[in-house]
Amino acid sequence: MTAMGSQNVSIAILHSNRLFRESLSCCLDRVETFSVEQAASSLEGIEDVLRSGKVDVLMLEYEILCQNGETNVTRVFGLSSEVKILVVDVPDREQDILYCIETGGASGYLIHNASVVDLVNNINAIIQGETLCSPRIASLTFDRISQLTRQREWVMNENTMNLTRREAEIVRLIEDGLSNKEIAVRLQIQVSTVKNHVHNILDKLQLHDRHSAVNYIKKQSTTTSRF
């Protein structure tokens, strides 16, 4: 198997499954211009090689990203600001893919049933400054960017309506279509805690269901933006 172009690509693998790490290391080392510098189950295991600046691409398991998303990503870029992150084993769901981009700082993603050929193509694309994704995900990404540009309006309204930062975050995730269980996984909190937050949100807004809360804040944001 060969990679596109002649640039040598150094790779680190961060994955909890030992068989996955070792098998993938063997596969990638057979690609002419690829070399796996380090494979580990925790960030501590690859800190030195990241700090050395030798790694071009970090393959990061989606579950590890979810466990401590922003903290892990901040640590990675603190060790190596130039490394590109490829999130692997991503569920084939739109909200999970967008999470990789928004929170994971990912340059690319690979769904859980992808092939080795898909992996090689994604690494090649990342090195060339490109990202392989479906037209649907590309459209959703642009929609998400547009949504984030309106985030200041959300912040203004969360202050006006006395919502905490966590409550406002949960409202946004409800708007994205996530269930209480999915929100709990995303924020790494208990489902019961999510339910308590939702109850407090509805109580503050004097509404009866979660979707009414989203519609209400959207309406308030639209009204605010006119002034």
- Over residues 136-147, the pLDDT tens digits come to 777 776 676 666
Which pLDDT does position 136 carry in this prediction?
Answer: 72
Q: Where are the beta strands (DSSP E) in the chain?
A: 9-14, 34-40, 57-61, 84-90, 108-111
pLDDT at 193 over 80: yes
What single-letter DSSP state applies at residue 155? H
> Please, what are the domains in the chain?
9-132 (3.40.50.2300), 150-225 (1.10.10.10)
What is the DSSP code string of 156-203?
HHHHHTT--HHHHHHHHHHHTT--HHHHHHHHT--HHHHHHHHHHHHH
Which pLDDT does position 153 carry in this prediction?
Answer: 52
Q: How many C-beta neighbours within 10 Å does residue 125 have? A: 17
pLDDT band at 224 (very low <50, low <70, confident <90, very high): very low
| Percentage of the residues of the chain whose pLDDT score is greater than 90 | 34
The answer to whether 101 and 109 are in contact (CB under 8 A) is yes
pLDDT, one tens digit per residue, over 6-35 is 579 999 999 999 999 999 999 999 998 999
On average, the pLDDT of the chain sits at 81
**Least confident range of 3-17, 79-93, 110-124:** 3-17
Overall average pLDDT of the 197-220 stretch: 80
Q: What is the distance between the alpha carbons of residues 57 and 171, in angstroms, rounded to a whole number?
A: 34
pLDDT at 214 over 80: no
pLDDT band at 104 (very low <50, low <70, confident <90, very high): low
Which pLDDT does position 137 carry in this prediction?
Answer: 72
Higher per-residue pLDDT: 132 or 31: 31
Which pLDDT does position 132 carry in this prediction?
Answer: 79
pLDDT at 88 over 90: yes
Which pLDDT does position 171 carry in this prediction?
Answer: 83
**Least confident range of 22-36, 124-138, 192-206:** 124-138
Overall average pLDDT of the 197-219 stretch: 81
Residue count (the chain): 227
